[in-house]
Amino acid sequence: MQTYAYGFPRLGKNREYKKIIENYWKGRSSEDELQMNINWLDKERLSTYKEYVDKFPVGEMTLYCNMLDTAIMVGLYDCKDLHGYYSLCRGKNALKLTKWFNTNYHYLVPEFAGFSPSNFTMRWNKPKEALQAHKKGIPYLIGPFTFLKLSKGIPERRFGDYLFNLIDVYKEIIRDFDEVHIDEPAFVTDISEKDIKFIKDAYKRLDTGNICLFTYYDSVDFLNVLYELPVKAIGLDFLSSEGNLKYIEKHGFVSDKYLIAGIVDGRNVWKTDIEWATNRLKHISKFSRNLVVSNSSPLYHLPITIEGEKLHRRLLKRLAFAKERLYELKLVASCLEGDYNEDYNAVVDDFGMNKKVRVCVKNLSPRDFEKEIPYPERATRQKKLLSFSLFPTTTIGSFPQTKEIREKRKDFKRGDISKEEYNSFIREKICDVIRFQEDSGLDVLVHGEFERTDMVEFFALKLRGIATTKNGWIISYGTRGYRPPIIYGDISRPKSMSVDEITFAQSLTKKPVKAILTGPITMIAWSFVREDVPIREVAYQIALCLKDEIKDLERSGIRIIQIDEPAFRERAPIKRRNWNEYFDWAIKSFRLASKSNPETQIHTHMCYSEFGEIIDEIKELDFDVISIEATRSKGDIIRYFKERGFNRQIGLGVWDVHSPDVPTVEEMKKIIKKAMKFIPKENLWINPDCGLKTRGWKEVVPAIENMVKAAKALRDELH
């Protein structure tokens, strides 16, 4: 049986990708050097594939984003050089970044406004170039349907025109190859009959006979149509849901195509049960004689390798990252030929198990998810205690993580400075930021999150049952990586996690300091999560830890607590029919965590996602205040909140923190005035779109100043 792998991470074992590109940005290397180094890195990648599997794509490497590369390839953008390329990726004229399906990987959104479908032309034959890197590889492309669906600015009624014109360009690009790898993950979304027809007609025109078509992240609801397409092979995900298997069991598979069966996990880190996978493949082979074994989704959702990780022995032996997945493919293939390897076992034993935690979750009753006092009454009580004027101003939590802070953290980790020294440094920073916020006239202060590297990893380090890695980086967007923690056991909180810093901050000021916690859904979405218990239980375990944390904070005199849930929308399943189940546990976990004193004002924060479609679910969270990003839509997003009868307080984001530009007072006022059309002014707060950790003080100072001015000006105008 042949093995095929794709999506192997481009980051490099020691994050070489980041270094190579950022060096160029900093002017430390030339365009040629960048190219040379990236080619070297890609060679390394390809040789890893080659070591383990029979086939793999070439040309997956990109200098920033494959969606952008596709756009350039087909003539949407004209980039003369790397400078032009990177100006589309970052800086003032950058394209918008958005999450790729339901993952935390982001892509640049191609903008079609002003581009006519007749303008498509082949500007660049990237696959042909890529083939030079490895003669035996299969050229890689994002499929035309997925590419257009994820772009913006294409009028719905003209989608077909764009697609068919684009197809002609694709044909030109791919016709000379023996085989091409085409990714169409958009095929697993909820697709209309009209779109199915487009797909059918488009691919019929693309009858080059050499296409290996890949779908992943979920099952395809119109496999019957895929069967009819003139493609050579179809890649299906057999892990994320049962849909594909069920269809094949019922209707079989087509005899004239290869079935590329995704059976080792591209999205989670648990070792494959080789025996199970082998049996599953044997079962699938009853329906298709031409079977190839593969990963279930691209491997770039995983870190490169477990080699060198210093995790507990009993945990380490459960794990497989990207390189280990390649090995598993090899193992499964040889197992199918009757060659068993006894040493490679996916064991789940009682390591990390905590009976007490399980009992707590088991004993939860409906009351644990309900607030005792409804919002209107809570709001009245809180108002009495907090007595803000109109348009209270606040921030989302983090303040600039400067070079100085990062250096100090490194010193501390290396053991160059003591814990006491590090802590007193953090305290100094807290003092500074409290003074700054008081001087600026902000109403609700924060402690700045200087002690946190990452909002998920920070809490993961403090909780039992969650491990963090040394080098388990994955790309979030561009060159930016993060290390998802690994939730492997029952989760408990040995001691308070945030109380020290926050109560210290509160001791410095009479104004309320808002405590910032990361919510259960975001903890889960940005970690690798165990699969031996239902995800709902994992969420409740985290929620119970947060609930205890909130109690501790309340006891220490904290009156405002924000639970960040930026991944609330992203974590939702791709198919709507699975939403109810997800939102049920997602909402309940938030409610469980936030069942606090009615006098404690509970905030939540969400940003950079499509809220329009989930306002009803957001309402169910039963918080008191939500802060959201509103700058890009210039406040228009609030319209949806009104439409759905939202009656809580909203903190409007009036400053896009991804941009280095400082917004003016007028710009901010405009957003607030727009929002006032939809939401009573008494319910509006003012804040930046998100945390300020990636910004510099030179923007933060004037922007916060303008924010406070905007609030004051509006108060004056209204009195």
- Catalytic residue annotation: 658
Closer to Zn ion by Cβ: residue 212 or 607 = 607
State how far the alpha carbon of 66 is from the alpha carbons of 21, 361, 534, in Å. 15, 43, 34
Candidate segments 34-42, 86-94, 548-556, 687-695, binder of ligand GLN by CB under 6 A: 687-695
Q: Does 97 bind Zn ion (CB under 5 A)?
A: no
Provide CB contacts within 8 A for 663, sequence distance 6+: 631, 654, 655, 656, 703, 706
x/- mask, ligand GLN, residues 368-407, rule CB under 6 A, reads ----------------------------xxx---------
User: What is the rounded distance in angstroms from the CA atom of residue 41 to the CA atom of residue 251?
Assistant: 43
For ligand GLN, which residue of 68, 331, 335, 516 counts as binding (CB under 6 A)?
516
At residue 301, the 3 state secondary structure works out as: helix
CB of 670 to ligand GLN, least distance (A): 24
Closer to ligand GLN by Cβ: residue 149 or 483 = 483
Cβ–Cβ under 8 Å, residues 188 and 219:
yes
At residue 27, the 3 state secondary structure works out as: coil
Residue 400's binding partner, choosing from Zn ion, ligand GLN, none, with beta-carbon cut-off 5 to 8 A by kind?
Answer: none
CB of 677 to Zn ion, least distance (A): 24
Q: Does 517 bind Zn ion (CB under 5 A)?
A: no
State how far the alpha carbon of 62 is from the alpha carbons of 66, 94, 204, 592, in Å. 6, 17, 29, 43
CB of 485 to ligand GLN, least distance (A): 16
Total of residues contacting Zn ion (CB under 5 A): 3
Q: Does 690 bind Zn ion (CB under 5 A)?
A: yes
∠554-557-562 over CA atoms, to 5°? 55
Residues 566-605 touching ligand GLN, rule: CB under 6 A, are: 566, 605
Task: Give, rounded to a whole angstrom, the gap between the first and last alpha carbons of the chain.
Answer: 77
Q: Does 455 bind ligand GLN (CB under 6 A)?
A: yes
Closer to ligand GLN by Cβ: residue 352 or 691 = 691
The separation between CA 190 and the C-alpha centre of its own chain, rounded to angstroms, equals 20
Residue 183's binding partner, choosing from ligand GLN, Zn ion, none, with beta-carbon cut-off 5 to 8 A by kind?
Answer: none
Residue 693's binding partner, choosing from ligand GLN, Zn ion, none, with beta-carbon cut-off 5 to 8 A by kind?
Answer: ligand GLN
DSSP assignments along 537-566, one per residue: HHHHHHHHHHHHHHHHHHHTT--EEEEE-T
Tokens representing residue 447 in the block: 């402690």
User: What is the rounded distance in angstroms from the CA atom of residue 63 to the CA atom of residue 56?
Assistant: 20
Residue 648's binding partner, choosing from ligand GLN, Zn ion, none, with beta-carbon cut-off 5 to 8 A by kind?
Answer: none
Residue 398's binding partner, choosing from Zn ion, ligand GLN, none, with beta-carbon cut-off 5 to 8 A by kind?
Answer: ligand GLN
Q: Does 12 bind ligand GLN (CB under 6 A)?
A: no
Candidate segments 61-69, 497-505, 516-524, 600-608, binder of Zn ion by CB under 5 A: 600-608
CB of 500 to ligand GLN, least distance (A): 17
CB of 15 to Zn ion, least distance (A): 24
For Zn ion, which residue of 137, 397, 485, 566 counts as binding (CB under 5 A)?
566
CB of 617 to Zn ion, least distance (A): 18
Q: Does 607 bind Zn ion (CB under 5 A)?
A: yes
Q: Does 505 bind ligand GLN (CB under 6 A)?
A: no
Provide CB contacts within 8 A for 664, sequence distance 6+: 706
Residue 89's binding partner, choosing from ligand GLN, Zn ion, none, with beta-carbon cut-off 5 to 8 A by kind?
Answer: none
Handedness of CA 491, 492, 495, 501 (dihedral sign): positive
Buried b (16+ CB within 10 A) or exposed e, 425-450: bbbebbeebbebbeebebbbbbbbbb
Q: Does 607 bind ligand GLN (CB under 6 A)?
A: yes
Q: Does 693 bind ligand GLN (CB under 6 A)?
A: yes
User: What is the rounded distance in angstroms from the CA atom of residue 478 to the CA atom of residue 106?
Assistant: 8
Closer to ligand GLN by Cβ: residue 271 or 603 = 603
Closer to ligand GLN by Cβ: residue 185 or 566 = 566
Total of residues contacting ligand GLN (CB under 6 A): 13
* 527-533: long-range contacts, CB 8 A cutoff, minimum separation 24: 527/456, 527/460, 527/466, 527/484, 527/485, 527/486, 527/487, 528/268, 528/269, 528/270, 528/484, 528/485, 528/486, 528/487, 529/268, 529/487, 530/270, 530/487, 530/488, 530/489, 531/268, 531/270, 532/348
User: What is the rounded distance in angstroms from the CA atom of residue 593 to the CA atom of residue 546?
Assistant: 5
Contacting residues toward Zn ion, per CB under 5 A? 566, 607, 690
Contacting residues toward ligand GLN, per CB under 6 A? 396-398, 449, 455, 516, 564, 566, 605, 607, 690-691, 693
